[in-house]
Every structure is written in C-alpha cells, then in structure tokens.
Chain A
Amino acid sequence: MIRRPHVDWFALSPSLVLTGVAGLLLLVAVLAPRHRRKPLAAAGAGAGFVAAFALAVALAARSPHPATAVADAVFRDRWAALAQALVAACGGVAVLLSYGERWREEHVAEYYALLAAAGGGMAFFVQASNLMTLFLGLEWFSIALYVLCAIDIDLVGSLEAGLKYLIVGAVGSATLLLGAALVYGATGQLGFDRIGAAPHAHDSLLVLGLALVLGGLAFKASAAPFHMWTPDAYTGAPTPVTAFMSSATKVAALAVVYRLLETAFPTERHLWTWAVAGIACASLAVGNVAALVQRNVKRLLAYSSVSHAGFMLIPVAAANALGGRALLYYLIPYSAMSLGAFGVVAARERELGRAVTLDNLAGFGWERPFLGAAMWAFMLGFLGFPLTGGFIGKFYAFSAAYEHGWWWLIVVGVAGTVVSAAYYLAVVRAMYMREASELQLAPAGGSPPRDPALAAGVALCLAVTVGSFFAVQPLVDAARSAASALPF
C-alpha cells in the first residue's frame, strides 16, 4: 500500500482551477455549436483567470508563514501567490486582447484552452519547491506555449515561430534538466531548501549544475545570450500570444530564478551574483542595440523585452531584500506595459491586415487618440519616465544594485536606458510626428473597427502603468511581505 501524502488543495487551487477550465474548454471545442464557441470559450477562460487571481490573492492572505505543501513538492507562501496573481492577471488581459482577433472558428476554443493551460502551468511553476516540480511546471506551460505560437496556421511565420520556439525551448529544457541532474548528483537532494542545506563545499559538479539550471531558466526569461528565439517567436506568434508570453512567462521565469538562487544556492552566492550580473549586462547591451535598427514594431518590442529581462535581473544580481521587492514591484508595471503595448500593436494589425512597422504606424496617434495615448504611456514607461510605474521600477532596481555595492551596474543600466530612448521615442515619433503626406490611413476607409474588449484590456494596462506610479506604498508592501518568504 502506497502512503498518500496530505494534499493541500488550497495551495494548488490557482493552477488546478486553470487546468480544470482548460479541460472544460476542450469540451466546449467539440460540444458547443460553432457560432457559440468563441464567446463561450473566451468567457470561460476569462472566468478561469479571474478565479485564479482571486484564489492567489486569498492564498497570499492566508499564507503569512512560508511553508511547503504536498510532500514538499510545492511552496505555499506569498512569493508564489503574488507571482500567481500576476500571471493570472496577465492571462485575463490576454483574453481581452485575444477576443477581437480573427481566429479560424474551428480552433478558437482550443486557443483559449491552451491559454488557460499555460496559465495553470505557470501558476504551478512559480510555486515549485523541488527540481522535479520545477521541470514539470516548465514543460507544462512551455508545451502549451509552443502550440499557441503556431496556432494561427494562416499567419505567415506562425508555424515557423512555433517550430523555432519548440526547438530552442527544448534545448533550454534539456539544459535545465541536465543541470538539475548534476545538482542532484552533487547533493543527493531535490528540494530547494535541502539542496541549500546539504554539505557541499564548492563542489564543481554543483557549480556546473547551477550554471546549467540558470541557463535553462534564462532561456525562458529570454535574457541574452539565451534570447535567440525571442525576436522570431515574438514576431511570428499571433500578437495576443506574444503579449501573454512577454509578460506572464517573464514573471514566472524571473520569480523562479530569484527563488531558486536564493533558497537552493545561498552558499554559491559569490558566483551566481556575478553570473546574473553578466547576463543582465549582456541582455541590456544586446536588447537595446538590436532594437535600435528594427522597423517591425513587434520585433522592436521583442528586443525591448530582452533588454528588460536584463533590467529585472539587476535586482536579482543584487541578492538582497531590497532586490526582492524591486523585482516583484517592477514586474507589475512591466507586465502591464508589455501587454498593453502588444495590445495596441494588435489593434493596428487588425486595422491594416498586415505586420505593423514604424512606417505604417504613421498617423495612428491622431486616428485612435486613446490607443495612441496609451501606447505613448507604455513607451515612456519602458523608458522609465515619471508618471508611470516604470520610473519607480528603475529607481528600485538601481537602489538594490547600490545597496549591494555595485554602482557600476547602475551605470550599465543608465547607459542601456539612454540607448533605449532612441527606439522607444521612435515609436512615439512614428505615431504622432509624421508629415501628413506620409500618413497611411486605414485602408478600408471609414472609422476603424470597434474592439471594446481590446480597448478595455489596454485601459486596464494603462491604469496599472500609471496607477503603480502613485500607489507605490501598497504595492511595495505586498512585494515586501512576498519577499520575506525568501531567506536573505
């Protein structure tokens, strides 16, 4: 007779709800009449993400003391709960952004099912407390994302994007798995806490394992030099999927990186802080310089997300309590800006029926005042200008680096930001400052297509982007209580 462990269903509830919703939506895909599938599936997925968000918030409220659950397979603490809430919020907004997309009707329910499944996987991933569940969660959401990238087979490049992401992602997963095996070999432990507590003085096997695990996770966070798939996958995937990937995946990957490094490898801190700082500098350099020469807006934003991965690794490299707060705080406006920016790109794409470039963005700001102003706010937020949470996020990241004593990391961050001004403002310039003769108005003529769901999603993102500038204290309090779950 096998002894069953005690299962804390509440701790697992966010990922369970999303998985359950994914299953239900697959039923909708075959049982519901064709014309009902889209509204039913979207409503189901939306409800699932809202429920997951509510459960994650409740979980955060009821888990003041960090603990592990389900035979030490998952963490039940506020760090995981806050990341889950963020992932669920990203998913909810992604549903809003997706609704107006012209999907092939026969696949629309599967799309939402996969979105919910990916969300569920991420919710599980961020609470993983041993290397097995870590890998399980990673594969769970990655497989859903591979299919999501390729789901729109009518879209040029979508299949290619999916395939590239699949192959490169599989390499990343394999790297992580190999690293996990080496760490297990070195310590004989799988749980993060136990790896950290196991006696191992500068074991080269462990260090190699650590490097491979870090590399595998950096693939998912699309940090340089593991970012090669990012521009192609982001450009080829349907834009709402890109929006979801660029926000939720980054939240999950960075939250896990920080937790894993702090709990499992505290004795190797002198090594991984340098490694993370190196990855951060490489990402800032590669992302910002490559974004400068892009004309395709999705590709530009993809490189910008690489540079932001670098930016958010600065507080990780700082490895202090302030860094934990900085990372969690920064993820909030970052996700909103990223979702919102891709949402605006999706709106223009639906209007024009082709890929959005800096050239055919001309005049957009005047034609669609709300979306234009929102895009403006997102670009300024990425750039770290005041009146957006991006400013406070940069400020916190710099503060964390200073507290670690690494002022040079601040200088690198500043240099990256100066370069980024050129391409973020190029987007604003394209929207507002072209000559009238250059304007490419919507080809169909008349007023642009109405898309209230997308507008609502973008409005939500705008509210978070701007609101996080004013309501810093409550967000930082939440981030502080979450970060207190980690040992510093």
Chain B
Amino acid sequence: MSDWLTTILIALPLAGALAVWLAPLPRPWVASLATLVSLVEVAVWVDAVGRFRFGSGALQLGVRRQWFRDLGVSYHVGVFGFSLWLVGLTVVCGAAACTYAWWVGRERPRAYFGLLLFLIGATAGVFCAQDLLLFYAFFEAMLIPLYVLIGVWGGAARLRATITFVVYTVAGSLLMLAAIVVYGLQQGTFDLTRTGTSANDWLFLGFAVAFAVKAPLWPFHGWLPDAYRESPAEVAALLSGVVSKVAAYGFLRIAIAKFPGPAHDFRVPLLVLASIGLVYGSLLAFRAPDVRGVVAYSSLAQMGLITYGLFAANDLGLDGAVLQMVNHGLISTTLFLLAGMVERRAATGELALLGGMARGRPALATVLMTTGVIALAVPLSSSFAGEFLILAGVFRQGWGWAVVGAAAIVLAALYMLRLISAVLHVEPGPAVTPAALDLRGAELAIVVPLVACLLALSAWPAAISGHALTRAPEGSTCLTPDCQGFR
C-alpha cells in the first residue's frame, strides 16, 4: 500500500481533473468536487508523512514499472525527504488555490477546475519522478494548464503574457530535452537512481538554462512580470509559490547531484546571476506600482536567494535552501491570494489608489501584516531561519556573497514595509470605499491555514531543515543514495 502512495499523490488530482471534465455533474458541484479532491490530496500527503522514515536516506513510498525498455525508460516514482516537503507545499498551496477559486467562482468551472487539478497533479509528479523522461513529461505537462489558465481566465494583456511565458519556457525545456537524450543514452538508462555523474559542461548548461528560466533567475525573467500580473490570483499564487520551486528542485536533484564537476565550475557565474537577481529584483519590487508587482519581483529576488543556498554547496546552504523553498512558497501563495482579495475589494492593485485598508478591517490587516513580517525575515520567523542558514552557508564561499545577501534582506524589509503601509496604512486611497468589507469567513479559512503553517515553521524550522537531506557518515552532504556529493 505505502509503495503506491506517491502514485496516488500524482494520480488523484489527475483523476479528479478527468472526473471534473467528463462527469455529467451539475455545474455548481464542479467546484466543490475539485476542492474536495484537493483537500483529500492534503490528507493523503499527511498520511505519507506519517509513513515516511526520515532517518533513512533511501527513496521511499515509490514504485518502479517498465515504460519502454528499448531505451531504459521506466515509470519510477518515489520521494526523498526534501521532495516530500515540496510535494507538501504543492498540495497545501494547491488546496488553497482551489478553495479560493471555488470562493471566487470562476467562469467555465469544468475547464477551470480540471486544469487546476491537472496542474497540481503534474507538479506533484515532477517532485516525485525518478526517471528523467518522466520528470520531463511532468515538467512539460505543467505548462499546458498554466498556458490555458493564464490565456483564458487572465487579465487584459493575457495573450502577450502567455506568448512570452510559453516561448521562454519551451525554449528552456527543449534544451533540457536535448540534454536528457544525450545524458540518458550516455548512461544507458534514464533512471535517476541508477545514472552516474557526468562531467559534461554542455549537458549541465542544458539543464541549468531550463531551470533558470523556470525559476526565474536574472536575466531569464522576461516572462515573469506579465505572467504574474495577468494570471488569476490563485494561478499566480501557484506559479510563484510552487512552480518556481520545480526549478530549484531540478537544480538540487539533477543539475547539482548529477553534474558535480560542472556545478563546481559554474558556481561563480551562477552565484553572480543569483546576486544580480537578488538585488535587481528587490529594487524592482521597491519600485513596483502595484501589489502583484511587488510580490512578483520579490519572487525573483527570493529565487536568487534560494540559488545562493543551492550553490553554496555545503550543509548549511542546502538546508537553508530547502527550508526557504517551502517558506517562500507559502509566503508567496498567501501574498498573491491576499492581493487577489484586495483587488476584488478595490477593483485595482495600484498602490497609489490603495491605502488605509487597516481601518475597520482587522482581519485583513492582521493576516497581511503577519505574512509581510515573516516575508521580510524578522528574527524568530521561519524566513529568518532559512535566510540565516543560506547566508551562513554562502559566507563559507566568500564573505562578499554574504554581504550582497544581507544587503538584499534590508531591501526586502524596504519593499515589504512599503507594500504593507501602502495597502493598510496612510490615508484611504480613492479606490478604497468604506463599503469594502473585511476578509470573510471563507477567505480567512483559506489564508489562515497557510499563515498557520508559516507560524508553525517559525516555531520549529528544523522540521524541514533537519528532515530534508540525509547526512552521509563522513559529514559530507549526500542528497540521495546515488549522488557523489560536492567537490
């Protein structure tokens, strides 16, 4: 039974999507069914956590079945500690997004909720896949629902947003396909647990570009502002909270674990890109004219920080990166959903037209304030724990990186406080009418669990940082049984 648990985690949302598309349900039930499926998915994940043995570094809860033996491709899924946490992030944020869409009531619910569930299933699949071709299949499959969700239900400039998004992503992922073909044929198998390491720089770059586009890292972020602004709020939440983590996961599971040599050689260029993204993203977030712009560019900055952790190439940095992935996923999802809620009340996200929303709206003020404060990494928050680990890790690579990182944290405080004050404080803006309500019960039921997760992680960050990666006896970090560690 527990062998099939990851398969269930992948298949349940996909089956739910099919049911929503095809079952002749009355229209109002569609959204409820989809939300129910997404909540059951969370329960399945909780069960998986219960069955997972954190002490062992082995791949768990997985199965392996032949897909086509011709080229050694198999259906092989399973989870390691860090992938389990990322799957958890996916299902929790997915459930929040589904519930929010149910509350908002999207047009053409069959297609909408079907695609949303499909996205959740495909993302869970990426985190569980242990075969490169399967990984790629799920990686590309994520793009299909995202493309339609943005293109059909997005804002006014959605067509341009989808085109840039797709062109960037497809270009990156096809380079990865070429790299996968070459790497897999060189190794004689596409099974990640059986392939050895490779020292080929070109293959590493093929993977790295795909992940850098998906993350995004500067200068591959051209698709980001449009896509995050034009999507429906819950899609933007999933895109920045969960889908961007796929890229960080890919760096961790493939680019670093399978290409230790090139990862070492390209460490400095990648850290430079991450630094630029970190500073540039923070500055843009500070200058952004609307709520979503702030969150979108802060996402660029945070992905830079996570990349810092990944390429710090030591225990501290990696632990911090995994923790920060989950942190940022939860924070970003919450902030995008809150942005959606604010936009529904004021009919705009322009910071110049907002303001003074705290007065008479205590729930909104409390939730936004709490999330914002966690996001700017005040001490005792989970982000503080994550960012501290990352900076401590990257400090060992050179103090200059840590200085840039620390400066960016100051910038994070600037843009986050600007966001909070522009929405909640100052004089009420022209778009904020006294009739704009406080958060309703259902909305609170969506965001409060996310904030509760963040608070729980703030209390016990080691839940993730101490239960993600397995230490090899000699003290070097070994992510997976097959990795060769870092040089």
Report yes or no: B138 in contact with A386, Cβ–Cβ below 8 A.
Answer: yes
B67's contact among A385, A391, A433, A473, by CB below 8 Å, is which?
A473
State whether A387 touches B141 (Cβ < 8 A): yes
B108 with A421: CB separation less than 8 A: no
Contact present for B159 and A429 (CB under 8 Å): yes
Residues of A within 8 A of B68 (CB): 392, 472-473, 476
Within the complex, which residue of A387, A411, A418, A425 is in contact with B147, where a contact is CB–CB below 8 Å?
A425
- Chain A 394-411 interface residues, beta-carbon cutoff 8 Å to B: 394-396, 398-399, 402-403, 407, 410-411
B177 touches A432 (CB 8 A): no
| Residue in A325, A366, A396, A398 whose beta carbon sits within 8 Å of that of B178 in the complex | A398
Please, how many angstroms separate the alpha-carbon atoms of A325 and B185 in the complex? 16
Inter-chain contact A432/B67, CB cutoff 8 Å: no
Task: Enumerate chain A residues within 8 angstroms of B151, measured Cβ to Cβ.
Answer: 429, 432-433
- Which chain B residues numbered 84 to 129 have a C-beta less than 8 Å away from chain A? 108
Cβ of A320 to closest chain B Cβ, rounded Å: 12
- B70 cross-chain contacts in A, Cβ below 8 A: 325, 472-473, 476, 480
* Distance to closest chain A CB from B315 (angstroms): 35
In the bound complex, do residue A402 and residue B137 qualify as a contact, i.e. CB atoms below 8 Å apart?
A: no
- Does A380 sit within 8 A of B, measured CB to CB? yes
Cβ–Cβ contact A395 & B133, under 8 A: yes
Q: Write out the residue numbers on chain A whose beta carbons fall within 8 Å of the beta carbon of B73.
A: 472
Taking a contact as CB atoms under 8 Å apart, the answer to whether B174 and A402 are in contact is no
The proximity string for A residues 460-488 relative to B, scoring 1 for CB distances below 8 Å and 0 otherwise, is 00000000000011001000100000000
Min CB distance B136 to A, Å, is 7
- Verify A410–B152 contact, CB threshold 8 A: no
B182 interface hit (Cβ, 8 Å): yes
Q: What chain B residues lie within 8 Å of A385 (beta carbons)?
A: 140-141, 143-144
Given known contacts A421-B170, A473-B66, A480-B70, A414 and B138 CB-to-CB distance under 8 angstroms: no
Q: Is A456 positioned at the interface, with any CB of B under 8 Å from its CB? A: no
Tell whether B440 is near chain A: CB-to-CB under 8 Å. Answer: no
| Chain B residues within an 8 Å CB radius of A480 | 70
Cβ-defined contact, A414 with B178, below 8 A: yes
Q: Give how many B residues have a beta carbon under 8 Å from the other chain's beta carbons.
A: 35
Known contacts A399-B71, A421-B167; is-contact A391 B185 (Cβ 8 Å) = no
Q: Are A395 and B141 in contact (CB under 8 A)?
A: no
Rounded to whole Å, the gap between the CB of A255 and the closest CB of chain B is 20
Q: Is B162 an interface residue (CB 8 A)?
A: yes
Task: Tell me the residues in window 90-133 of chain A with beta carbons closer than 8 Å to chain B beta carbons.
Answer: none
B118 to chain A, nearest CB (A): 10
Q: How many residues of A contact B (CB 8 A)?
A: 33
Which residues from A are CB-within-8-Å of B487? none
Bound together, the chains give a CA A126 to CA B69 distance in angstroms of 29
Given A366-B108, A402-B181, answer yes or no on A418-B137 (Cβ-Cβ < 8 Å): no
Most A CB within 10 A of own CB, among B66, B133, B138: B133
Query: Which residues from 412 to 459 on chain A have a C-beta closer than 8 Å to any C-beta of chain B?
Result: 414, 417-418, 421-422, 425, 428-429, 432-433
- Which of A396, A399, A432 interacts with B152 by CB under 8 Å? A432
**B150–chain A nearest beta-carbon distance, Å:** 9
Q: Which of B136-182 contact A (CB under 8 A)?
A: 136-138, 140-141, 143-144, 147-148, 151-152, 158-159, 162-163, 166-167, 170-171, 174-175, 177-178, 181-182
B47-94 CB contacts (< 8 Å) to partner A:
66-71, 73
Contact A422 B167 (CB under 8 A): yes
Residue numbers in A under 8 Å from B148 (CB-CB): 428, 432-433
Residues of chain B contacted by A425 (CB below 8 angstroms): 147, 162-163, 166
Q: Known contacts A433-B148, A472-B67; can you find 16 more A-B pairs with CB under 8 A? A: A386-B138, A387-B144, A398-B177, A398-B178, A399-B71, A399-B181, A402-B185, A403-B185, A407-B178, A411-B178, A414-B175, A417-B174, A433-B162, A473-B67, A476-B68, A480-B70
A-B CB contact pairs (8 Å), 8 listed = A385-B140, A385-B143, A399-B185, A407-B182, A410-B182, A414-B174, A421-B167, A472-B70
Interface set of B (CB-CB < 8 Å, partner A): 66-71, 73, 108, 133, 136-138, 140-141, 143-144, 147-148, 151-152, 158-159, 162-163, 166-167, 170-171, 174-175, 177-178, 181-182, 185
Those 6 A-B pairs whose CB atoms lie nearest each other, nearest first: A386-B137, A472-B68, A433-B151, A398-B181, A414-B174, A473-B68
